[in-house]
Amino acid sequence: QKEVEQNSGPLSVPEGAIASLNCTYSDRGSQSFFWYRQYSGKSPELIMFIYSNGDKEDGRFTAQLNKASQYVSLLIRDSQPSDSATYLCAVTPMDSNYQLIWGAGTKLIIKP
């Protein structure tokens, strides 16, 4: 059973601090990794994707991938109240080029 695990939270972070969200996956052959943000009552919105080991930066967001340890993380610098949302981690399993295995999401709260 392929799984993606996330801490459900809520994760509470003060405004301006760094929020760190983590995700582990069970399929060692997974190749593609995605972070989606979902505001309450809204649809998932793609924030970052990463394919290679290491860091990928986009503005205030950094995705980190460590395939040997089977984890992927999302860092949000200078957290803003507008970053408060549920963050979903999704992973493409080795035996599929379309399927996504979804984590249950981490609820992030940025406190002013």
* Interface residue list for another protein (CB under 8 A): 32, 34, 42-46, 49, 88, 92, 97-100, 102-105
Alpha-carbon distance values, 97 to 4, 12, 46, 81 (Å): 17, 35, 18, 35
- Mention every residue, 6+ apart, whose C-beta is less than 8 A from residue 69: none
- Please report how close the Cβ of residue 14 comes to another protein at its closest, in angstroms: 27
Expressed in angstroms, the distance from the first to the final Cα of the chain is 40
- Please report how close the Cβ of residue 17 comes to another protein at its closest, in angstroms: 28
The Cα–Cα gap between 18 and 61 comes to 10
- Please report how close the Cβ of residue 45 comes to another protein at its closest, in angstroms: 7
